[in-house]
């Protein structure tokens, strides 16, 4: 295994461990905050005063930083699929710390993720050596990648301007499509920024090069858009369905963009390419199995009663009978209590 790939692999695994742990730590913090105040899902912000939640946030930042450094030393085709290992970490920790049982099919999903990741690592191509940000700029402005970038931007505009107003609340592929396509451009820009920082630290400053700041602006724009639409997807649709589909599309577009821009597969044999793709499909299968075995979060009480009509209340009579009571009913003898839908909110 190449030295750069080995370092990138170690950083990517460390990143997954930190990010997977951060989910559990933040959830424990949310539970503590919700026990003595309004829960976050009900609009509360008490978790901001909970130290455990901030520890989880710090852990996530460390993980994302390690992931950023990993892109400097290893190709995206190696680093991006390894993000699935964070799911294993969170699933195992949730089993012991949150009493969210990891069933047999969940264990099978973990094993598949590990096997697929191992195949990817063993067959991943080596990172190309770049000596200046101008070389990265030349790769980004080659006709093949310009065609990909233009197609990606055009597709995002179609999804945002045409599809979102019509199908955004009923078809999750609209939001996930925007996130995934933007995500591939984000990774390419972040990788370029990381290489520029690495070269600067080695003594060849890239700060004054205008290409560096173009990559920074592209990365910031794509990250903001990506996070905005990912939040929309998670808020509108079931997380257990959104997560594996987003992982599959994001990783697929990232591998495609990296193959076009950095020519990851140049000089690689057909068997090596097929092995990496098979490893990715194995990781994807494990991810989907893990999410399909997740226990759904308990439904808030307010949501359970939200389907009750606001025009109808429930009355409890002296003889124990329960009757529906409409707002226009004038007589209601022997009423002990009137329970309205707002009572449950």
- Tokens standing for residue 133: 């940000």
State the residue for tokens 């970490």: 89
What is the pLDDT, as a whole number, of residue 41?
Answer: 54
C-alpha closest to that of 3 among 120, 127, 116: 127
11: confidence class by pLDDT, cuts 50, 70, 90: very high
Hey, which residues does 291 pair with through a beta bridge? none
Tell me the per-residue pLDDT of 320-339, one tens digit each, with 9 for 90 and over. Answer: 454 554 555 555 555 444 44
Round to whole Å and give the CA distance between 183 and 206.
24
* Kind of pairing between the strands at 322-326 and 335-339: unpaired
Put simply, whether the predicted model's pTM sits higher than 0.85 gets the answer: no
Tell me the per-residue pLDDT of 291-330, one tens digit each, with 9 for 90 and over. Answer: 777 665 555 544 444 444 444 555 545 554 545 545 555 5
- Give the largest CA-CA distance in the chain: 88
Tell me the per-residue pLDDT of 204-234, one tens digit each, with 9 for 90 and over. Answer: 888 889 999 999 999 999 999 988 888 788 7
Burial class (CB in 10 A: 0-12, 13-18, 19+), 137: middle
What is the pLDDT, as a whole number, of residue 131?
Answer: 81
What is the pLDDT, as a whole number, of residue 204?
Answer: 85
Round to whole Å and give the CA distance between 7 and 142.
29
User: To which H or E segment does residue 235 belong?
Assistant: helix 210-236
Round to whole Å and give the CA distance between 2 and 39.
48
State the residue for tokens 């599809």: 163
């Amino acid at each position: 295994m190449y030295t750069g790939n080995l370092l990138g692999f170690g950083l990517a695994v460390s990143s997954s461990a930190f990010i997977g742990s951060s989910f559990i730590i933040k959830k424990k913090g949310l539970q503590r905050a919700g026990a003595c105040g309004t829960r976050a899902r009900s609009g509360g912000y008490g978790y901001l005063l909970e130290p455990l939640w901030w520890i989880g946030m710090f852990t996530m930042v460390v993980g994302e930083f390690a992931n950023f450094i990993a892109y400097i030393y290893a190709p995206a085709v190696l680093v991006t699929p390894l993000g699935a290992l964070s799911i294993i970490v969170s699933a195992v920790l949730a089993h012991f710390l949150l009493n969210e049982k990891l069933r047999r099919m969940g264990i099978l999903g973990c094993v598949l993720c590990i096997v697929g990741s191992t195949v990817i690592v063993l067959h991943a191509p080596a990172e190309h050596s770049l000596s200046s940000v101008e070389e990265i700029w030349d790769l980004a402005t080659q006709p093949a990648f310009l065609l990909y970038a233009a197609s990606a931007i055009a597709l995002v505009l179609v999804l945002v301007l045409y599809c979102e107003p019509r199908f955004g609340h009923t078809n999750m592929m609209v939001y996930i499509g925007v996130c995934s396509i933007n995500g591939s451009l984000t990774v390419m820009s972040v990788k370029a920024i990381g290489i520029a920082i690495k070269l600067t630290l080695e003594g060849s400053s890239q700060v004054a090069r205008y290409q560096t700041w173009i990559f920074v602006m592209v990365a910031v724009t794509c990250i903001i858009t990506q996070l905005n639409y990912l939040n929309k997807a998670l808020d509108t649709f079931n997380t257990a369905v959104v997560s594996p589909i987003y992982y599959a599309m994001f990783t697929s577009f990232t591998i495609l963009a990296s193959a076009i821009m950095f020519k990851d597969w140049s000089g690689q044999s057909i068997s090596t390419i097929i092995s990496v793709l098979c490893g990715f499909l194995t990781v994807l299968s494990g991810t989907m199995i893990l999410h399909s075995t997740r226990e759904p979060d308990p439904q808030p009480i307010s949501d359970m009663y939200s389907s009750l009509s606001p025009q109808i209340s429930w009355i409890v009579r002296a003889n124990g009978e329960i009757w529906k009571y409409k707002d226009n009913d004038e007589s209601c003898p022997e009423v002990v209590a009137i329970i309205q839908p707002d009572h449950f909110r």
